[in-house]
Every structure is written in structure tokens, then in C-alpha cells.
Amino acid sequence: MHERLSFYVKRESALHQLNPLTKLTLVFGLILPAFLVPFYWTPHLLLLLVVFPLAFLGKVQGEYFTAVTKLILPAAGFLFVMQALFIPGGETVLAKLWFLTLTQESLMYAFANAVRIFVMVSSFTLFMLTTHPSELMSDLTQRGLPGQFAYVIIATLQIIPQMQAKASTIIAAQRSRGLDTESSFARRVQALVPLVGPLVFGSLVEVEERAIAIEARGFTSRRPKTSLREIYDRPLDKGLRWLLILIMLASLVSRIWFS
Amino acid sequence: MPIVKLQQVTYHYPFTEKPALQDINLEVEEGEFVAVIGPNGAGKSTLCYTLAGFIPHFYKGELKGIVEVDGVLVQDSDLSDWVLKVGLVFQNPFNQISGAKYTVFEEVAFGLENSGVPRSEIIRRVEEVLQMTGIADLADRSPYSLSGGQQQRVALASILVMQPKVLVLDEPTSQMDPIGTREVFGVIRQMAEQGMTVVMAEHKVEWIAQFADRVIALWEGKIYLEGKPHEVLTDERLVEKGFGVSRYTTTARLALPRGLWQKERPLPVTLEEAVAGFSALRNARRKQG
Ligand SMILES: Nc1ncnc2c1ncn2[C@@H]1O[C@H](COP(=O)(O)OP(=O)(O)O)[C@@H](O)[C@H]1O
Ligand SMILES: [Mg+2]
């Protein structure tokens, strides 16, 4: 079935060694300036001067640029085209196409927005590539996040591939009993109805069994929990987090100040 | 002093008329290995849930009688304390995966993290248990990527690592091949030798005959027969009530009236016993000439 349940790539790198919370702060320390700072070239500079070097620093450039070409670039590109063509306004008309007008202003605006999205998705991608989900959860739990909360987050992250696998098993089973899932769209929607039952009901029964099973492993014990993973929080991490918080505040202030 | 004590235990699941367990009296000594057999719906899983405290703490319904482990009544204990004393390995291995861990190693460590065991001890105990249950080579695999039999080993390891006083197992080898089954029975026997008390619901009578100290035969929620493995497993009354019976027992039972099994010899449960019985008969006949 699904051997890989996370995006995490195990490597030895400066980025891997950072504390998970520091990396999470870094994600927002990139996104906020990209969206808030009123200087036009901010997201572009962030992308070139921070995000791309970070991918190399984390030694995940290969995985990252694969994600860029397969996912981020198409999504940002689509957004760019839509906004460039459909956002009204602007004086410098560059081209006219039937009812669509392309102006320099809307082109610039769309470009910046696309790069903002690029920065946002990239930061999250780099975060997930270099942070093991268990590590993030252990760290957050030790900082006081309730265990139940952490469990829900991490179990949800794992449930999607599980559900996909189960859905395909059920579909295969129903199809072998003659269920039509391949003809016209309406018929296929109709055919999906009997699949919902087993998927939802099966999941409910499993939720109950799983609840007992984690109970059997002492999950609700009131003793203070320990963690298998050793998570470091070095002075560098603390310093970086403060710096990032300052950057976020500065972006917010710059936004309010200059508008 | 028995460590497990059930007296007059009757249990109804919510909204059911018929009791799933009825008048159960059971005492288990420390270090004893008790096997529970019974046809589907006999109440084996319900008995396991009762011992492990999920009845009455998780499954509501009506529980009457006394359930006591290590001198403490189940009603007087929190479930989270009870599970540290009585460990339960469930019937379905897939639903026992915590769903919060990415590798088998982490999965097995989960119970120890929850009970606050220091990291170095977690690592030591997990490594030991992985060796013992024969899954050390799976340590870095995702628990979801394993076969049913491998998941059952992980489920067993995840509970064994917590070192409960009483180990309750609900058909823990149902998805295993004979080699796996043999290994698991061996591990459980070894735990019993070291003083762990074991109650195991299981169908595989040939293995029970070799490893268990005592057998309880459940039927419609009641204890129908109880005693030494061979006495219970070769009892004629099991057949009419639809219990699983060893094919060697059946063979010898058919051979007996035809003079192909010695009258004074107890019926066999395992292959070895059957072979020994049939060769003894052949040797006796040879002597007679
Ligand atoms: N959650 C439940 N709610 C109501 N009845 C149940 C529940 N679980 C089991 N039963 C009933 O209790 C009886 C014993 O079931 P169970 O303990 O699962 O038997 P076994 O494990 O021996 O197959 C059966 O008649 C079954 O239908
Ligand atoms: Mg059962």
C-alpha cells in the first residue's frame, strides 16, 4: 500500500537541524512580507534571494524543483494568466483581444500575485520536505499543545492516503459485482452513491475500534508524556524566531504606514 | 492468590436482550497461560474486553458480578491505569495501528511515550521487543505497508513492550502462517514462564494443546467446559456444539471403533501425538505377529 505517508526527505542539513517551530515561524516569516510589504519587488526578491537558496541549504533542491515544475509553476502560471486577462483597469494597453484587454498594470499586478503564491507554496513545501511530522507534533506537544489536538492533526494527515486506498478497494469490489463506474458522467455520479455507505460506515466503525486501540496504549494516561524523538531547540533557533517575529511585525507596520 | 478473578460475571451490550457473557467464574494464577476457545459469537472477544477494562469503561451496557485484577475492582480503577496492568491485543490488527506514527519502531514506542518512560529506556525496550517478536527488520517500515501477519506481530509487540502483568490476546495469530503462529505461541509461552499471566482467545487447537496450561471452552456466553488442554480439546461434547476440533482428534475418533486407535490411549490433538498413537498401534500388532 502507501509506504510513504509524508513528504519528509531524510537528509543531514542545516535546515533539517532547525527546530520544527523555528521552521514553521520561517514559513510565516516569508509569507507575511511577501503579501504585506508595499514595495513591488518584495516577493520576487524573497523568492530569488531566500526561498531558492533555502532549498539548497536544506539539500532538497531536487525534490523542491520537481514540486515546482509539477505543481507550483502550473498553479502560479494559471493564476497569472487569469488575473492578467480578467482584472480590469490600467492605462497602458498592450494588446486587445476581442473583449479582453491586456494592460501593463494588470500584467504587473498579476505577476506579483503569482510570485506571492509561489513563495507561499514553496515555503510550505520546503517545510514539509525538511520536517518530520512526528517531530513537529512531539515539539508542539512538549510546548503545551494538548495531546488529543496533536493526535487529530497527525491522524488527519495520514487518513487521506488511507481513505484513497480504501475507496479504490471498495470501487474494485463493487465493480467486480457489476457496478458501472466508467460510462457517462451522470451515471458515474449515480454509481458512486452505493460507495458512500461502506466508506463512511466502515470509517465510523474503525474510528471506534481505533479509539479503543489507542486507549489500550495508554493514550489518555495523565502521566506526563515523553518522546522517542529528541528535539533540539538551540540558542540559534530562539534567536531566529525572534528575528522572524520582528520581520513579520515590520511587514505589518510597513503595510499600515504606507497605505 | 489468583491475579485475575471473575465472579458471577454477566454482561449485556447496550440494547440487547441476550447476555454476551453469563455467570462467568474464572480465576487465573500469576504466570498461567489460559486459552479460550469457542465458536463465532461465543463471547471470546467480549471476555477479552471485560478483562481489559473496556467493558464497562468504554462499552456501556450492564455488567454484573466481580471483575478483579491484582486485588483491584475494575469499577474502582481508571481505564488509563487499568490498561497499564492488563494489556489487550485486539482481533483486527489494522485498526490497532495508532494512526499517528510513521514507522514500526515509533508505533511500538507509542505506548511507552504515553506512559512517560524516559527516552533511553524506550529505545532499549522497543529494540528488545522487536527482536523477540521477529520484526526487527521491519523497524523503519510504515505500519500500513505490512501484511496482516506482520501487523499482528506489531500489535503484539506494541502491547508486550508495555510489560503488562496480564496479557490478553484476541485471536492474535488469525492472519499468520504456521511458522508465524508457532513463533508467536513460543514468545507468549516464554512470557508466561517469566511470570506474565496470559489469557488468549484462539481457534488453533493444535497449538493450544502444546503451549497452554488450561483451556476454557465458551459457548453462548457461558463456560461450557474447562480443564487441562487435552481433556477439553478431545471432549466429545465440543463436536455437537460446533467448536473447532483438531483433525487429528477427529481422525482418531473415527479410527477408534474400527480398532485403529488404542482404547486406553487418549485421543490426539497434535500431529505428533497422532503419529505416536498410530505407530504404537502398529508396533503392538507386529509383536502379536
Ligand atoms: N458491540 C456490540 N454490541 C452488541 N452486541 C455485540 C457487540 N459485540 C458483540 N456482540 C454480541 O455479543 C456476542 C458475543 O460476541 P463476541 O464476543 O464478539 O464473540 P466471539 O469473539 O466469540 O466471536 C455475539 O452474539 C455478538 O453478536
Ligand atoms: Mg471475536
Asked if B58 has any chain A CB less than 8 Å from its own CB, the reply is: yes
Q: pLDDT digit string (tens) for B38-94?
A: 999 999 999 999 999 999 999 989 999 999 999 999 999 999 999 999 999 998 888
The confidence score (pLDDT) of residue A192 equals 66
The distance of A112 to chain B (nearest Cα, Å) reads 38
Q: Do B289 and B153 share a structural domain?
A: no
Look up the domain containing B182 and give its range: 2-245
The confidence score (pLDDT) of residue B16 equals 94
The confidence score (pLDDT) of residue B262 equals 92
Q: Do B231 and B135 share a structural domain?
A: yes
Q: What is the count of structural domains for chain B?
A: 2
Length of chain A: 259
Query: Ligand 1: does its nearest atom lie under 6 Å from the Cβ of B148?
Result: no
Do residue B100 and residue A216 have CB atoms under 8 angstroms apart?
no
Do residue A217 and residue B79 have CB atoms under 8 angstroms apart?
no
Three-state DSSP class for B133? coil
Return residues with CB closer than 5 A to ligand 2 (ion): B 44-45
**CA gap A216, B201 in Å, rounded:** 17
Q: Do B188 and B130 share a structural domain?
A: yes
Q: Do B258 and B149 share a structural domain?
A: no
Which pTM was predicted?
Answer: 0.80
Q: Do B16 and B150 share a structural domain?
A: yes
Q: Is the pLDDT of residue A159 over 90?
A: no
Give percent helix, percent strand, percent coil of chain B, each to the nearest 5.
45, 20, 35
Q: Do B155 and B44 share a structural domain?
A: yes
Mean pLDDT of A129-138: 86
Mean pLDDT of B147-174: 95
**CA gap B159, B137 in Å, rounded:** 19
- What is the residue-averaged pLDDT of chain A? 84
Q: Do B255 and B171 share a structural domain?
A: no
Q: pLDDT digit string (tens) for A69-99?
A: 988 999 999 999 888 887 777 777 777 777 7
Q: Do B34 and B119 share a structural domain?
A: yes
Q: Do B170 and B95 share a structural domain?
A: yes
Choice between B163 and A231, residue whose per-residue pLDDT is larger: B163
Choice between B49 and A149, residue whose per-residue pLDDT is larger: B49
Cell numbers 519587488 correspond to what residue? A41
Interface pTM (ipTM) of the complex?
0.83
The confidence score (pLDDT) of residue A150 equals 78
Going by pLDDT thresholds of 50, 70 and 90, the confidence category of residue A241 is: very high
Q: Identify the helix (H) or strand (E) that includes residue A140.
A: helix A133-142
Q: Is the pLDDT of residue B231 over 90?
A: yes
Ligand 2 centroid distance, CA of B91 (Å): 7
Choice between A107 and B37, residue whose per-residue pLDDT is larger: B37
**CA gap B148, A244 in Å, rounded:** 47
Q: What are phi and psi of B112, to 5 degrees?
A: -75, -35
Determine which of A28-32, A106-110, A164-168, B259-263 has the lowest per-residue pLDDT on average.
A164-168
Q: Which residues of A112-146 are buried (b: 16+ CB within 10 A; e: fewer)?
A: bbbbbbbbbbbbbbbbbbbbbbbbbbbbbbeeeee
Nearest to B217 by CA among B275, B49, B228: B228
Instruction: Write the CA distances from B166 to A38, A140, B63, B218, integer angstroms.
Output: 66, 34, 21, 20
Q: What is the CATH number of the domain that holds B171?
A: 3.40.50.300
Q: pLDDT digit string (tens) for B216-228?
A: 999 999 999 999 9
Contact status, residue A179 vs residue B43, Cβ threshold 8 Å: no
Asked if A214 has any chain B CB less than 8 Å from its own CB, the reply is: yes
Q: Do B225 and B87 share a structural domain?
A: yes
Calculate what percentage of chain A has a pLDDT beyond 70. 81
Q: Which strands, in side-by-side order, build the sheet including B86-89?
A: B86-89, B166-170, B197-201, B33-37, B214-219, B222-227
| Cell numbers found for residue A66 | 520537481
Closest residue to A217, CB basis, from B98, B102, B119:
B98
Query: Ligand 1: does its nearest atom lie under 6 Å from the Cβ of B122?
Result: no
Q: Do B137 and B107 share a structural domain?
A: yes
Q: For A113, how many CA atoms within 13 A lie in the half-sphere containing its CB?
A: 16
